[in-house]
Structure formats: C-alpha cells, structure tokens
Structure 1
Amino acid sequence: MDIDAIAAEHARRLSGADALIPRPRLWTDGQAGTPLRARDGLALATRSVVRTGTPAALWRPLVEYRLDVRLAGTDPSATLSALLARWDEHLAEAEAVDWDSAAVVTRPSRDTVGTSELLRRGFAPTRVLAVRPADRLGAGPPAVPGVRIRHAEAADLPTLVRLRQELHSYDAQFGVVTTRPDEHDLVTTETRDLLADADSATPSLWIAELYGRPLGFVEVQLPPAAKWVSEYVTADRVGYLASLHVAEEARSTGVGSALAAHAHQLFDEAGVEAVLLHHAQANPRSTPFWYAQGYRPLWSSWYRRPAIG
C-alpha cells in the first residue's frame, strides 16, 4: 500500500472513531525524525530533550522518544506491532535506559486498535488529554456556601507555591511528572511569572477561599494563549485548563467544583468552543472529578519508562 493510501485510510478510521479528532498532519520531506515503514503502516520516530533547571523539566522526563503512527490494511494491530518492533530496534541504538527517558505513543483515545500490542511491549496508558465541548447556557456557575473565588495577587505567591508543589508531588506518583531537586525554585519562578498578569483583564490564576482561607487555585489559558493545544481538536476557539488543586483540608467541600465551574464560565464568556486539559489516567482523584465535570478522553499517551528496558 502506498503512502497516500495509508494516510487516507488512517484518517478515515480516526474520523469514524471520534469526530473531535482533527485530520492527521502531513509529514513533510526533510521533517525532523526517523521514518519507519511496515507493509500497511508508516511511523515517524522523533526525540525531544528539555534541560534540567527549566520549568518544563518538572512535567516530563528529560528525554522523550515519540512515535507518530499511520495504520491501514486489514490488520492494523499487526501493523502497529511491526512498527513498534522497528522502533525498539531504533531505540536500542540510542541506549535510552535511564529512568529520565521515556518512549511515548500518543493515540486518539477511541482508536483502540493495537492496545494489546502496546501492553505487550511494556507501555501503559499514562496521560490523557481530555476535552469538554462548550456549554454556553449563560446562567453562570452555582454558588457554593463559604467559597469565594477571586483573582490571584502578588501577595498570594507563598500560598500558590505551596499548593502547586502539593499538586506536583501528588502527580509525580503516576509516571510523567518528575520530582526535581530544584523544584521549589522552579515553581516559585514559574508562579511569579504567571502572577505578572494579575492586573490584566483576563488573569490566568484564580484563588478559591473557603471562609476567608485560600485553599485552592485554578490556572486557565484563554485564546490566543491556548493556541498551542488547538491542533488536537476540531474547534476554532480552544481553551486550556492548565491546573486545578485544592488543599487536603478542603477536599469534599465544593471548592474544586466551584473552581471548575468558574473556569468554565471564563471559557464560555471568551467564546471557547472546546476546553482541553491533561490529567494522569491512574490518578484516583482527578480522573473521576474531571469526567463528572463533563470531560472525556480525547488523546491517550502511552508511556514506557525508561524508554527501553
């Protein structure tokens, strides 16, 4: 099967599985990466690196090897298996055996072809990009007794750093977020930068107070700041819910739901058509919480750490 036929059949299968998945991007001649072929499949193997001491190092392994696949034919599972075998040969040459490396395959969540092949090769569905289509009813979020949501201010820096470090430490259990020795300094710098827009018309950080105590926060990205993630969904105006966390002592009080409802109101007021967010699939708190808020899996990232055993 030729390259164009493989790409066309792959795109048809994805659109049939999920109407919110955009048509796969074309790979251009000379694009960075290593092309791999199977009888009825194509893949592009790429490598990305982040440096220690940068905020990006908090949220991922330092080295990620990624495989983008196009599957066609009567047995796409076998095609994926063949491409994974070729990729493993490629990774063996890279000697990616350090824990701070990962092999990553990101697939549309509803395209379950080849799931067993990924499991057999030591991959686990680890990270999800979830979607919530807009629901602009205009009524606004319901009030929660004792909860007040306000713009974050410069004076909230210590509280936000504490809450964001709590979130980071909890998420580090689930395979992608990585603990770093300079975590406190990195989180402080990143939070201070986010607070720089506290006086703007559309601040990104919001604080939830429970009877006057700041015990939760939410970070949002409205258009055009969320443009970087818009390529993953068929919508013109996309928002991104970057993070939400509630202190342990305020769980089950309605603070988290109030923050989520406030964020969705902001997205609706900005004319957002779809909101995206990342969460760890194994997280027993965030997964049921977000799906109760109207989200569903859109893309699933399968990880293997280290990249090769």
Structure 2
Amino acid sequence: MEIDAIATAHAKRLSVADALLPTPPNWDAAAGTELSVRDGVALATRSRVDAGSPEALWRPLTEYRLNVRLGGADPGAAFGALLTEWDQLLEESEASDWDSAAVVTRPSRDTVGTSELLRRGFAPTRVLAVRPADRLAGGPPEVPGVRIRHAEPSELNTLVRLQLELRNYDEQFGVLTRRTDEERALTSATRELLADADSALPSLWIAELYGKPLGFVQVEVPPAAGWADSYVAAGSAGYLASMHVAEEARSSGVGSALAAHAHQLFDEAGMQAVLLHHTLANPRSTPFWYAQGYRPLWTSWYRRPAVQG
C-alpha cells in the first residue's frame, strides 16, 4: 500500500475503535528515522534528558519511541515487521542500561499486534486514561472528618513528603526511577505551584482528615493542560496530574472525596474530558480510577532496558 493509503486505513480503524481518539497528526520525518514495510510505516525517535532535570523524575533518561501507521488486510503482521526493523535499529544503539526504555504508545482499544509486542518483551505499563464530562451527579460526597481546601505556601514540606511517599510506592511498577536529587526538584516545582496566586484555578489542593493533612491532588486546565488536545477528541481537556493519600488515611474516603472535588473543579471550568496517567500494574490506582469513571485511552508498552540480552 502507498503511504497515504496506509495513513487513511489507520485513521479509519482508530475512529471505529474509539470515538474519543483524535485524528492521527502528521509527523515530522526529520525528527527521527522512518521505517516502512508492506502495509505499515513508522517513525522511530530518540529523546534524552539529564538526570537532574524535572523530566527525569517521571521517565527513563533515554527513551526510544515508535509511532506507527498500520493498514492492509493484516495490520498485525505489518506491526510485527516494523517492530523487527526497529529492534535491528535499537541494537546499533547499545541502549542496554536500565535507565533506557523502548516505548510504543498505542490507542488502548486498537489491540492489533498485541501479541507481537509481548513476544518482544514489552509490557503494557502506563495508561493515559480519560473521563468524559458530566459523569458527576451532584456535588462531592460528604465524608465525615474530611475537608478539602487550597494548599498554602506554609504546607510545602507536607506536599513534598506526600509526593515522595507516592514516588516510593510507584517505583516498583517500571516507569518511575528514583533520583538522588528528587526532593530538591520536587520542592522547587511545588514552591512554584504554590506561588502561582494569579491562577484562576489553584493547582494544588489539600485533604484534611479531622484537621490533619493526609492527601493532596494536583489539577491542570488550559493553557497548562493544552498538550492534552493532541490525545483526545474533546473541545477542552483537563489533566489530573497527581493525587496521593497517606497510608494512614486509606479506606477512609479521603481519596474518593479528593477525586470528586477535582472533577467538580473540571466541570466548573468547562472541561469536556479529563485525562490522567496511571501505571497499569498498580493494584491501588487502577481499580480506583476506573471506579471514578475513567477508562483506558492510550496504553504505553515499555521494555526496560531498551535492548535486552
């Protein structure tokens, strides 16, 4: 098939699979290496961040990514052929240290070629989940002893502590890597958010349980969440950037109250959809978020290190 025909077939299959998927954008061929097989094309890219950068808190230092377009009568076979070509390219990179990853992000409901990824050592690791608007009936639930309010600059240390607890737990699921200076980086980023007094919608909110701060949620709306427009077919999208409840407050209703409060904020801001990232293997976050009305939209398959063996 010609490249245009492949792109058309790919876009058509995605539109049938999930109405919330946007039209696949054109890619910049100069940004990477183009691969092509019968009925399939792909763009292989590489990105690297410094260990001390804010981005390094949430990803491996070196990421090799593959963006695919699949057409024809057997798109799974085309996907497998593209993965084989990509593996040959990766072997030349010598990316065999743990702080590297090969990443393929696919629409969650487009399951074509799943077995090809599994055979090559990939695992579905990180999900970008979506919650359409208007799922909240009424206001947030009344939970005895729980109060949710704006975070104050004086609570910087509390917010950093909660974020470090979250990182300590999430490390085991394969995306996040602990950094030696992460406390400094988190402190700096959180201080900036707390100082943003001009924002129409505060980013950070604290949950108290009987007067003790035991949870937080971070929310983003446009323009901060403007990047989300390329991932979902919605007029406006918000992003639930992070949420954590201290171990001592689990099963108390704090998490559900925080989530409901965030959704009310998004609804009041006119967001037509809300996105969030979670690790698929997390036995706490995955069932919790889907009980709040989210579902998988994009699934990122990881292989760490990027080249195995």
TM-score (norm 2): 0.98
Give the paired residue count: 308
CA distance in structure 2 between the partners assigned to 1:118 and 1:257 by the alignment: 35
Structure 2 counterpart of 1:204: 203
Gaps of at least 5 residues in structure 2 are none
- Tell me how far apart the structure 2 counterparts of residues 123 and 284 of structure 1 sit (CA, whole Å): 20
Deviation per CA, 1:68-122, whole angstroms, max 9, x where unpaired?
A: 0001111111111100000001111111111100000000000000000000000
- What is the CA-CA distance between 1:138 and the residue it aligns to? 7.1
Whole-Å separation in 1 of the counterparts to 2:34 and 2:135: 43
1:216 aligned residue: 215
- % identity of equivalent residues: 74
Distance 1:39 1:167 in 2: 44
Q: Give runs of ≥4 in structure 1 deviating > 3 Å.
A: 198-201
Alignment of 1:110-149 (within 5 A): 110-135=109-134, 139-149=138-148
In structure 2, distance between residues paired with 1:227 and 1:199: 18
Equivalences for residues 171-210 of structure 1 within 5 A: 171-198=170-197, 200-210=199-209
- 1:14 correspondence with 2:49: no
Q: Over aligned residue pairs, what C-alpha RMSD do you find? A: 1.1
- What are structure 1's unaligned runs of at least 5 residues? none
Q: Secondary structure at the match of 1:47?
A: strand
Shift of 1:57: 0.5
TM alignment of 1:234-245, pairs within 5 A: 234-245=233-244
What is the match of residue 257 of structure 2? 258
After superposition, the C-alpha distances for 1:36-62 in whole angstroms (9 at most, x for unaligned) are 001010000001111111111110000
Letter paired with 2:89: H
CA distance in 2, matches of 1:281, 1:152: 29
Cα deviation 1:174-195 (Å, max 9, x = unaligned): 1111111111111111111111
The residue type paired with residue 21 of structure 1 is: L
Question: Which amino acid letter does the alignment assign opposite residue 207 of structure 1?
Answer: I
Q: Which letter does structure 1 place at the counterpart of 2:19?
A: A
- Which residue number corresponds to residue 161 of structure 2? 162
8 A contact 1:21–1:233 mirrored in 2: yes
**Can you list the C-alpha shifts for 1:262-285, whole angstroms capped at 9, x where unaligned?**
000000000000000000000000
Pick which of 220-229 and 124-133 moved more.
Answer: 220-229
Show the counterpart of 2:79.
Answer: 80
TM-score normalised per structure 1: 0.98
Give the conservation status (yes or no) of the 8 Å contact 1:220–1:240.
Answer: yes
Counterpart check, 1:66 vs 2:65: yes
Counterpart for residue 150 of structure 1: 149
* Counterparts in 2 of 1:75 and 1:250: CA distance versus 1, 3 Å: same
Give the superposition deviation at 1:306: 0.4
Measured in 2, the distance between the counterparts of 1:20 and 1:172 equals 30
Aligned twin of 1:96:
95
Is residue 217–residue 258 contact of structure 2 (8 Å, CA) maintained in 1? Answer: yes
Deviates more, 1:47-56 or 1:235-244: 47-56
Shift in Å at residue 141 of structure 1? 1.2
1: CA distance, partners of 2:218 / 2:13: 35
Of 16-25 and 128-137, deviating more is 128-137
Is the CA contact 1:151–1:198 (under 8 Å) kept in the aligned structure 2? no
Give 3-state SS (helix, strand or coil) of 2:67's partner. Answer: strand
The residue identity in structure 2 corresponding to 1:27 is W
8 Å Cα contact 2:136-2:263 kept in structure 1: no
Residue 198 of structure 1 contacts residue 204 of structure 1 at CA under 8 Å; is this kept in 2? no
SS, match of residue 168 in structure 1: helix
Q: SS at 2:225's partner residue?
A: helix
Post-superposition shift, 1:260? 0.2
